[in-house]
Each structure stands twice: as C-alpha cells, then as structure tokens.
C-alpha cells in the first residue's frame, strides 16, 4: 500500500462521513421517533383498559360489595366476598405447591448440564405453551372425577401446573445471574452443595427470584379456564365470577362483573408493586 493511496482513502472516508451525516442523522431521528411511537402504542391499551375498568367498576365498588356474600339473582345488596376469599385460597394453595417444586427443579437445572436437564428444560418450555384450558381438563380428570367433587384443591393444582414452567424458567434465569464461579468458590471452601445453593445461589438470586415468582403469580391469578373445570360455582373465584356474570344480559350481573374486574386488577397491580418493592429492598440489603 502506498502513501498516496492511504492519503486518498483518508480523504475519501472523511468525505463519505461528512456527506452521509445528514442522512444518518435523519435516519437516526426517524428510528428514534418510531421507537417512541411503538413504546406509546404498547402502553396505550393498558391505559385504556385501566381507564375503562376503573370507570365502570368504581360505580359498583363499596365496602359491602367487598365483604358481603353473593345474593341470589334479583336480590340487591350482594357482594363478592366468597369470590375474593376463594381466589386468595386457591392461589395461596397453588403457591404452596408450585414455589418449592419450581425452586428445587431450577436448582437442579442450574447445577446439571446433562441430557436429563436439557430434557427437563425442554418439557418445561412445552408445558408453558400448553393452553390453560387443557390444564383445566387435566385437573378435572385427575382430581375432580375420581373424588366426585369440585374443590379448591383441584383448582389450586391446576394453577400450580400452570405456574410451574414459568416459575422454573424464571428461577433458573435468576440463578444464572449468580455466576457459576461463585458456586465453585463455595464448593472450593469445602461446603456441601446444598449449603452453597442456600447461602450463595439462592441468597444472591433472591431479588430476581421474588420478581419472577410474583409475575408468575400475577399470571395465575387472572386465569379462568382451569377453574371452569374444577370449581362448582362461579362465586368461588373472581375470574369465574367475571366470566359468568359478564356474559349475562342483566345489568346487575354486568355491574358485578365490572366491580369484580376492578378488584382483580387492583389485586394484580398490588402484587406487581409488592414484587418491585420486595426486590428493591432485598437487593439493597444485599449490597
């Protein structure tokens, strides 16, 4: 390469950079604008949905709506207390089933890299894609039919199955943020694997574990299909109540559905905020 060609190339690059600058700046601005539009567009449905639900639901909302038991159709003064407690009970029970299993399964996936782990990870992904109505009918066949009874337990089981794959993958991802060399550092101190898992991996991953699990819960709280097959009456859970009352022609039923929808939304929102605060507080203490 000669000095002359190097010099001309320098001039050429300079000229090209200068010449294309306006075009590059315009392209950049356009791309930025597009991103902003997309960001707004993705938030707009949420805002609209919140606004509509609040404006419809707030009219119905009152203290008695929350604490009174449902009344038969046509009799005023009914509330949704059974649906609220039912939902809480079912979700709580589902958590007791799903959280420990998911944690242990995730630890297994974190630690092992063999074919079994790959197969498990794959089946978790497949399970995550199974439509929730199929999980509902599965719980129906497994628990409702043999026992001849609809039950909160059957509903909780269905929700647990639904949450498991989401939780497992979220837990594993959370653990992956704790690098494998920390795990090895613990082992190299002579600790038992279980001890390292508890003290180093779980502790370090705790903020992400909390966030991941709470998001899975928020997802499960809103599920309706698994409950269709496992609960005897629509007033046993909030989502089911919204489904049955919302599809009725009577204004009173529809109002109840909107009120319940608002309560459910508030519950999910509360969970998400709680997740954020918990993760923030834990990670602040960890530093």
Partner 1 sequence: MSGDPIARPEPLSLVAEQRAAANTAASALTHGHPSSATPPAVTLEGVQVSFGDHVAVRNVTLAIPARQVTALIGPSGCGKTTLLRAINRLHDHTGGSVEGSIKLGDIDVYGADTRPELIRRRIGMVFQRPNPFPAMSVFENVVSGLRFNGVRGRALLRDAAESALHHAALWDTVKDRLNQPAVGLSGGQQQRLCIARALAVEPEVLLMDEPCSALDPIATAKIENLITRLAADVTIVLVTHNMFQAARVSDQAAVFLLGEDRVGELVEAGATDELFHEPKNPRTRDYVAGRVG
Residues forming contacts to partner 1 in the complex (CB under 8 A) are 1, 5-6, 9-10, 12-14, 16-21, 23-25
| Tokens linked to 248 | 């009725």
User: Are the C-beta atoms of residues 135 and 158 closer than 8 Å to each other?
Assistant: yes
**Four-residue CA torsion sign, 195, 196, 197, 198:** positive
Residues in the chain: 287
CA separation, residue 102 to residues 41, 114, 115, 148, 212 (Å): 35, 19, 19, 29, 11
Nearest CB to partner 1, comparing residues 27 and 248: 27
CA separation, residue 120 to residues 100, 106, 113, 126, 220 (Å): 16, 10, 11, 10, 22
User: Are the C-beta atoms of residues 101 and 90 closer than 8 Å to each other?
Assistant: no
| Tokens linked to 227 | 């409950």
Nearest CB to partner 1, comparing residues 8 and 247: 8
**Residue 110: CB minimum distance to partner 1, A:** 24
**Residue 277: CB minimum distance to partner 1, A:** 25
Nearest CB to partner 1, comparing residues 13 and 134: 13
User: Are the C-beta atoms of residues 117 and 109 closer than 8 Å to each other?
Assistant: yes
User: Are the C-beta atoms of residues 109 and 172 closer than 8 Å to each other?
Assistant: yes
**Residue 35: CB minimum distance to partner 1, A:** 16
Nearest CB to partner 1, comparing residues 12 and 96: 12
User: Are the C-beta atoms of residues 170 and 216 closer than 8 Å to each other?
Assistant: yes
Nearest CB to partner 1, comparing residues 17 and 130: 17
**Residue 21: CB minimum distance to partner 1, A:** 6
Nearest CB to partner 1, comparing residues 18 and 42: 18
Residue 175, class by beta-carbon neighbours within 10 Å (0-12 exposed, 13-18 middle, 19+ buried)? buried
**Residue 100: CB minimum distance to partner 1, A:** 38
**Residue 12: CB minimum distance to partner 1, A:** 7
| Tokens linked to 213 | 């699990």
**Residue 260: CB minimum distance to partner 1, A:** 46
Nearest CB to partner 1, comparing residues 29 and 193: 29
| Tokens linked to 17 | 């950079």
């Amino acid at each position: 390469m000669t000095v002359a060609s190097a010099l001309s190339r320098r001039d050429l690059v300079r000229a090209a950079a200068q010449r294309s600058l306006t075009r590059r700046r315009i392209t950049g601005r356009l791309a930025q604008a597009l991103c902003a539009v997309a960001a707004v567009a993705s938030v707009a449905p949420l805002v609209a949905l919140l606004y509509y639900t609040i404006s419809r639901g707030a009219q119905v909302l009152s203290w008695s709506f929350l604490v009174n038991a449902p009344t038969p159709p046509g009799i005023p003064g009914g509330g949704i207390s059974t649906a609220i407690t039912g939902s809480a009970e079912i979700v709580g029970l589902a958590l007791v089933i799903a959280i420990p299993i998911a944690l242990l399964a995730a630890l297994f996936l974190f630690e092992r890299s063999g074919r079994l782990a790959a197969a498990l990870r794959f089946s978790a992904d497949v399970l995550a894609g199974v439509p929730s109505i199929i999980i509902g009918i599965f719980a129906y066949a497994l628990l409702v039919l043999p026992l001849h009874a609809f039950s909160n337990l059957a509903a909780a089981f269905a929700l647990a199955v639904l949450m498991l794959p989401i939780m497992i993958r979220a837990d594993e991802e959370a653990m992956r943020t704790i690098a494998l060399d920390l795990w090895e550092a613990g082992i190299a101190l002579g600790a038992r694997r279980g001890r390292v898992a508890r003290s180093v991996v779980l502790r370090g991953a705790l903020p992400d574990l909390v966030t991941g699990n709470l998001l899975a819960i928020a997802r499960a709280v809103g599920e309706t299909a698994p409950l269709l097959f496992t609960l005897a009456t629509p007033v046993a859970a909030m989502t089911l109540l919204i489904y049955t009352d919302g599809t009725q022609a009577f204004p009173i039923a529809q109002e109840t559905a909107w009120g319940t929808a608002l309560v459910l939304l508030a519950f999910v929102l509360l969970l998400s905020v709680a997740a954020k605060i918990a993760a923030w507080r834990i990670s602040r203490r960890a530093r």
